[in-house]
């Protein structure tokens, strides 16, 4: 029994010794095989889409903005909205104290009635005098005197009507409505404040409210002369903002000013972006890229794979093979390969600097 146990243990030890020896041989062979091989990382060349573009920064602006200011001076009586409210075109926003204007309107309407009565009386008189003049029953001097009274009554009627129209206008413009749909972005006055639009920049407030429509956003760019020749109206544009780093907003070039600013010597280019969810806010900075050209179904690799702008290394049978390439469009850290690489080939993107053509390499990772 003991002899059998010893025999079994001896067999187990022998088996373990054989396995250990075999592993050592394989490890030794692997070291010999990898001796002198440069570790590299690669990427498989694939077809994709790439664009060339010009990138600038600019401040986001609302598509439409207006300060709500009455046409006449007066005291603010009511403000019907608050900051952040969405309002529709024509909605009542605020109004001035209209008590004095309504009294002026009543006074003007009363004066108009008097003027109408005087005019009708003068009109009857002139018609009667015209008949008498034809019959030579009165002198021309008498007729001219009545005619002058008629003309004065007619002028007074027009003056009274104008006074009524002015009072109605003052009443109308003292009630402020939204000229377009948008968001109330600031409240610049309080009930009881006196607004005088005639004071301009000397007024203590800039109107009662500020209304913005930023369902679309515009961004004005200042482009140097080296870039303006490549920009055309209608070209696609891309906007990125720090608030949404993973989101791209798409728009287009709306205006291209071909006259340079006399001071900065740059050209104004306005880009426009739809903003239906109001994610973009006026006043923040954004990075705008104008798409000049786009190519699809072309080989694209990381730009760091290209050495000195004209060659790369591809891996063939464990060796780095040098390839001359012709590059095309560039976009951030990617480059188009027009000639020199086939789809599916493994291109070295790390460990490629200092390599010799035909050098042994060891792939340690694939992107």
Domain parsing of the chain, residue ranges: 38-50+296-366, 55-61+213-294, 70-95+175-207, 99-172
C-alpha 164/C-alpha 82 separation (Å) is 34
CB 211 within 8 A of CB 183: yes
pLDDT for residue 129: 84
**In this structure, which topology does domain 99-172 adopt according to CATH?**
Helix Hairpins (1.10.287)
pLDDT for residue 247: 94
**CA dihedral of residues 338, 339, 340, 343 (deg, nearest 10):** 60
Angstrom distances, CA of residue 81 to CA of 74, 189, 196? 19, 12, 21
Cβ atoms within 10 Å, residue 38: 16
Blockwise average pLDDT, block size 10, the chain, 367 residues: 56 59 47 66 94 94 94 92 96 93 92 92 87 82 87 93 93 93 94 81 67 96 93 96 94 95 95 95 96 93 93 94 94 92 94 92 89
CB 98 within 8 A of CB 249: no
C-alpha 88/C-alpha 184 separation (Å) is 11
DSSP string, 313-334: EEEETTEEEEEE-EEEEEETTE
pLDDT for residue 13: 54
**In this structure, which topology does domain 38-50+296-366 adopt according to CATH?**
2.40.420
70-95+175-207 and 99-172 have identical folds? no
pLDDT for residue 2: 55
Could you tell me the pTM of the whole model? Answer: 0.67
What phi-psi label fits residue 16: left (phi over 0), alpha (psi between -120 and 50 degrees) or beta?
alpha
Q: Enumerate helices (H) and strands (E) in the chain, giving the number of each.
A: 4, 19
Strand-pair category, 359-366 with 38-44: parallel
pLDDT for residue 4: 57
Q: May I ask the CATH architecture of the domain 55-61+213-294?
A: Beta Barrel (2.40)
Dihedral sign for Cα 218, 222, 227, 229, please. positive
C-alpha 360/C-alpha 367 separation (Å) is 20
Task: For the domain covering 70-95+175-207, report its CATH number.
Answer: 2.40.50.100
Largest Cα span, the chain: 170
């Amino acid at each position: 029994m003991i002899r059998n146990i010893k025999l079994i243990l001896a067999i187990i030890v022998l088996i373990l010794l054989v396995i250990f020896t075999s592993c050592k041989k394989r490890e030794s062979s692997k070291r010999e095989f990898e001796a002198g091989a440069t570790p590299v990382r690669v990427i498989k060349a694939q077809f994709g889409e790439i664009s060339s573009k010009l990138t600038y920064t600019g401040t986001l602006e609302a598509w439409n903005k207006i300060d709500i200011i009455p046409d006449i001076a007066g005291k603010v009586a009511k403000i019907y909205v608050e900051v952040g409210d969405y309002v529709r075109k024509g909605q009542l926003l605020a109004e001035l104290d209209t008590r004095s204007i309504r009294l002026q309107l009543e006074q003007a309407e009363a004066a108009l009635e008097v003027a109408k009565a005087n005019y009708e009386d003068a009109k009857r008189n002139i018609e009667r005098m015209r008949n008498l003049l034809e019959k030579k029953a009165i002198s021309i001097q008498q007729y001219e005197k009545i005619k002058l009274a008629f003309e004065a009554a007619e002028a007074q009627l027009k003056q009274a009507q104008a006074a009524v129209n002015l009072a109605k206008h003052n009443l109308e413009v003292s009630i402020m409505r939204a000229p377009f749909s948008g968001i109330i972005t600031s409240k610049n006055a309080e009930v009881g404040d006196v607004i005088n639009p005639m004071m301009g920049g000397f007024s203590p407030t800039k109107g009662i409210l500020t209304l913005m429509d930023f369902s679309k956003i515009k961004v004005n760019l200042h482009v140097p002369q080296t870039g303006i020749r490549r920009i055309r109206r209608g070209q696609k544009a891309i906007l990125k903002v720090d608030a949404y780093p993973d989101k791209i907003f798409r728009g287009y070039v709306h205006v291209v000013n071909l006259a340079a600013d006399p001071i900065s010597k740059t050209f104004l280019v306005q880009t426009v972006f739809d903003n239906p969810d109001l994610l973009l806010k006026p006043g923040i900075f954004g990075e705008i890229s104008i798409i000049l050209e786009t190519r699809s179904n072309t080989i694209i690799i990381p730009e760091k794979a290209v050495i000195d702008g004209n060659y790369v290394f591809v891996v063939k049978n464990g060796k780095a093979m040098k390839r001359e390439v012709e590059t095309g469009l560039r976009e951030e850290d990617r480059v188009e390969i027009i000639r020199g690489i086939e789809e599916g080939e493994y291109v070295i993107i790390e460990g490629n600097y200092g390599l010799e053509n035909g050098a042994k390499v060891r792939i340690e990772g694939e992107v």
